[in-house]
Chain A
Amino acid sequence: MIRLEPRRQHSQKMVYLSPLLAIFLTLITGGIIFAFMGKDPIEALYTFFIMPINNAYGVGELFVKATPLVIIAVGLAMGFRANVWNIGAEGQLTMGAIFGGGLALAFYDSTSMFLLPGMFILAALGGAMWAAIPAWLRTRFNANEILTSLMLTYVATLILSYLVYGPWRNPEGFSFPESRPFPDAALLPIIYDGTRVHLGAVFALLIVAGGWVLLTKSVVGFQLRVVGQAPQAARHVGFRQKRMVWFTLLLSGGLSGLAGLFEVAGPIGQLQPSISPGYGFTAIIVAFLGRLHPIGILFAGLVMALTYLGGELAQIGLGLPSAVTGLFQGILLFFLLACDVLTKYRVRFGAVNKSGEAA
């Protein structure tokens, strides 16, 4: 018989080992799934996880995909720590792209060096504003932020669709639903020639550093950790839950908005109906895989970015549907959650003897 025996303290070793174990188990499961689909598992795994990064351009793409994931996940992790479940990051990302991108379109003939910083600010505001709605509904009306933030994601996507099919459609373009291309002054500079790695990657690193300082060195970070680990203690010492809700939602919304702008002002270069392959949702997995810690999230972001690249290559090289990416991501999160049990519990085999100790 298998039993779970609580540990006195969370195992620090397991906190770090369980993501690695989860990745390992996901690879094994992935191999089995590939074999079932009639592909050679070794070749498929090689195509999925090694081929994307065996050249400089591929490594660059890894950073391009990891950039939005890391930026969003750092914000989400703060909320998850305090039991604030913002799962509408995809919508906040879209709003950021609309606000920041809107400025680029309003000044489409501008060459001003202030255009890009202005877009950053507007994008962060747009994302934060979109996240402020669930924050307000939760603190004022007690409405569950999981459901409201998710519903607003659908609304944001429809607003973007309206804009690019309607008023913001490129007047000089053919009838494609897309905006004008952004002017050069509104595009993020490439920081490494020959790749698509853009300034956003630098921001991602800064945001990781900022998140680390916030979490480990600030009073707010301390409060977040206490609220998450000991909610009752937090209430007793008077940490205000409502302030945590506002802070974490505005922060994660603002960061998601920024991530959305980096997509449209980076690799995409204009507004179009679809600007993200679900970065806002994948970032949830990144946050957990990274142990809700900014440094961990940096590595987790790179791992998850690889699943996007691998999915693309598997589509071209092996004829697999791109949905394989989502499947891998879901399985990875399952394994991670399952492995996390090891941080809080010891697995014991055998029956319980009279004294209550494991036999």
Chain B
Amino acid sequence: MDWIVPFILTVITASTPLLLAATGELITEKSGVLNLGVEGMMLIGAIAGFAITASTGSATLGIMAAALAGMATSLVFAFLTLTLMANQVATGLALTIFGVGISALVGSGFVGFAIDPLPALNIPVIRDIPVIGPILFGQDFLVYFSIFMVLASGWFLTRTRAGLILKAVGDSHDSAHAIGYNVIRIRYMATLFGGAMSGLGGAYLSLAYTPMWAENMTAGRGWIALALVVFATWRPGRLLGGAYMFGCISVLQLHAQSAGINVPSQFMSMLPYLATVVVLVIISSDYTKIRLNAPACIGKAFRPAQ
């Protein structure tokens, strides 16, 4: 049973980037905006966090830089889609292509740099409880933050006035506008939140998961985060289960490879991607469930009548 604690610990580190990015995207989508640029924002967050941490030595500054960089990227998306009413799908793809390019460009000076992994917030005494000590009390700040943000988002969407307004904007922008809410401003804020969270998700990869910079290091996690939002049927609580399930799958395939299971490594590496497809199919085939939970205005441009 010695393997179980390290296994759970790696699952947590593998799940956290997905959870952070998916939580942000969920809020963005709830406001009626579909930002497909998660992968690009994660990469930009990853390099911003890494570059700042490597040059200043401060992970705190790195994390802040990642959130700001993700936010700045999503601001470009928001300006194009919300102010200029560009197509959201195309703009999201542009964001990803741009993010891959600029992160590789900035990152080319940081390949091979080493930094200390994000320190764990070791809470004295209880951290030493066997098994649950290291799992529950020995994590780094972003792990706790990711779980806090899931809970906070759930509370925000169901228990606060602002959350209800956000959902109203996502479900019927015309009605929300008619009763006097500033649809565009609310969508800007939701999109920026999503950008910041994606940036943090990326930073988790480069600061804690690996910790290093490699070109395209997100390897599709931004897209998996998008699928997770559908999987969770736009409910934050279910994101937690979904993200940890995907974390499990990706760690299991790594373990299976190192345990010498006689399957070519490429087939094991396919598992997270295939699992995403399978999960997406299972959830999407329940049409009523999607219709009941998906924001009705998702991806649609809103132009206030003047």
Give the B-binding residues of A (Cβ under 8 A).
3-4, 6, 80, 85, 87, 137, 140-144, 146-148, 150-152, 154-155, 158-159, 161-162, 165-166, 281-282, 284-285, 288, 321, 323-331, 333-334, 337-338, 340-341, 344-345, 352, 356
CB–CB A159/B98 < 8 A: no
CB of B285 closer than 8 Å to a CB of A: yes
Measured between alpha carbons, how far is A326 from B103 in the docked complex, in Å?
10
B264 → chain A, closest Cβ, in Å? 5
- Known contacts A288-B90, A352-B306: does B85 contact A4 (CB below 8 Å)? yes
CB of B269 closer than 8 Å to a CB of A: yes
CB–CB A148/B277 < 8 A: yes
Q: Which of B94, B220, B274, B277 contacts A337 (CB 8 A)?
A: B94
CB of B131 closer than 8 Å to a CB of A: no
CB–CB B108/A154 < 8 A: no
Measured between alpha carbons, how far is A345 from B80 in the docked complex, in Å?
14
CB–CB A333/B90 < 8 A: yes
Residues from chain A with a CB closer than 8 A to the CB of B209 are none
Residues from chain B with a CB closer than 8 A to the CB of A159 are 266, 270
CB–CB B270/A155 < 8 A: yes
Interface range for B = 35 or more
- Known contacts A148-B280, A155-B274, A337-B87: does B101 contact A330 (CB below 8 Å)? yes
Interface string of B217-228 (1 = CB under 8 A from A): 001100100110
Which single residue of chain B is at the shortest CB-CB distance from A158? Answer: B266
CB–CB A143/B280 < 8 A: yes
CB–CB B277/A326 < 8 A: no
Residues from chain B with a CB closer than 8 A to the CB of A345 are 85
CB–CB A154/B264 < 8 A: no
CB of B176 closer than 8 Å to a CB of A: no
CB–CB A338/B277 < 8 A: no
Closest 6 A/B residue pairs (Cβ): A330-B98, A326-B101, A323-B104, A327-B101, A162-B266, A321-B108
CB–CB B101/A341 < 8 A: no
A72 → chain B, closest Cβ, in Å? 14
CB–CB A147/B223 < 8 A: yes
CB–CB A321/B90 < 8 A: no
- Known contacts A142-B287, A150-B220: does B277 contact A323 (CB below 8 Å)? no
Which single residue of chain B is at the shortest CB-CB distance from A6? Answer: B303
CB–CB B94/A151 < 8 A: no
Which single residue of chain B is at the shortest CB-CB distance from A160? Answer: B266
Measured between alpha carbons, how far is A282 from B223 in the docked complex, in Å?
18
Interface residues of B in 161-209 (CB under 8 A from A): none
**Additional pairs, 17, CB under 8 Å, beyond known A147-B276, A158-B270, A285-B94:** A144-B280, A148-B280, A151-B220, A151-B274, A154-B270, A155-B270, A159-B270, A162-B266, A166-B264, A323-B101, A326-B104, A330-B101, A337-B86, A337-B91, A344-B85, A352-B306, A356-B306
Measured between alpha carbons, how far is A272 from B267 in the docked complex, in Å?
18
CB–CB B101/A154 < 8 A: no
CB–CB A141/B284 < 8 A: yes
CB–CB A333/B85 < 8 A: no
15 A-B Cβ contacts within 8 A? A4-B85, A142-B290, A144-B280, A146-B36, A152-B273, A165-B264, A288-B90, A323-B102, A323-B103, A324-B105, A327-B102, A330-B94, A330-B100, A340-B86, A344-B85
Which single residue of chain A is at the shortest CB-CB distance from B81? Answer: A337
CB–CB B84/A338 < 8 A: yes
Measured between alpha carbons, how far is A146 from B89 in the docked complex, in Å?
9
CB–CB A143/B84 < 8 A: no
CB–CB A143/B285 < 8 A: yes
Measured between alpha carbons, how far is A166 from B97 in the docked complex, in Å?
31
Residues from chain A with a CB closer than 8 A to the CB of B102 are 323, 326-327, 330
A166 → chain B, closest Cβ, in Å? 6
Q: Which of B93, B100, B220, B303 contacts A154 (CB 8 A)?
A: B220
CB–CB B97/A285 < 8 A: yes
Which single residue of chain A is at the shortest CB-CB distance from B92? Answer: A146
CB–CB B284/A284 < 8 A: no
CB of B295 closer than 8 Å to a CB of A: no
CB–CB B220/A327 < 8 A: no
Residues from chain A with a CB closer than 8 A to the CB of B99 are 330
CB–CB B86/A330 < 8 A: no
CB of B230 closer than 8 Å to a CB of A: yes
Interface string of B32-61 (1 = CB under 8 A from A): 000010001000000000000000000000
Residues from chain A with a CB closer than 8 A to the CB of B40 are 330
CB of B281 closer than 8 Å to a CB of A: yes
CB of B215 closer than 8 Å to a CB of A: yes
CB of B76 closer than 8 Å to a CB of A: yes
Measured between alpha carbons, how far is A123 from B280 in the docked complex, in Å?
28
CB–CB A327/B105 < 8 A: yes
CB–CB B266/A141 < 8 A: no
Residues from chain A with a CB closer than 8 A to the CB of B276 are 147, 151
Interface string of B241-274 (1 = CB under 8 A from A): 0000000000000000000000010110110011
Which single residue of chain A is at the shortest CB-CB distance from B226? Answer: A147
Residues from chain B with a CB closer than 8 A to the CB of A329 are 97, 101
Measured between alpha carbons, how far is A148 from B283 in the docked complex, in Å?
13
A271 → chain B, closest Cβ, in Å? 14
Which single residue of chain B is at the shortest CB-CB distance from A33? Answer: B105
Residues from chain A with a CB closer than 8 A to the CB of B36 are 146
Measured between alpha carbons, how far is A329 from B102 in the docked complex, in Å?
10
Q: Which of A158, A162, A330, A338 contacts B97 (CB 8 A)?
A: A330
Residues from chain B with a CB closer than 8 A to the CB of A162 are 264, 266-267
Q: Which of B103, B227, B267 contacts A147 (CB 8 A)?
A: B227
A225 → chain B, closest Cβ, in Å? 16
B256 → chain A, closest Cβ, in Å? 15
Residues from chain A with a CB closer than 8 A to the CB of B230 are 144, 147
Which single residue of chain B is at the shortest CB-CB distance from A159? Answer: B266
Q: Kindly name the residue among B87, B219, B281, B290 whose own CB sees the greatest number of chain A CB atoms within 10 A.
A: B281
Which single residue of chain B is at the shortest CB-CB distance from A3? Answer: B306
Which single residue of chain A is at the shortest CB-CB distance from B89? Answer: A85
Residues from chain B with a CB closer than 8 A to the CB of A165 are 264, 266
Residues from chain B with a CB closer than 8 A to the CB of A321 are 104-105, 108
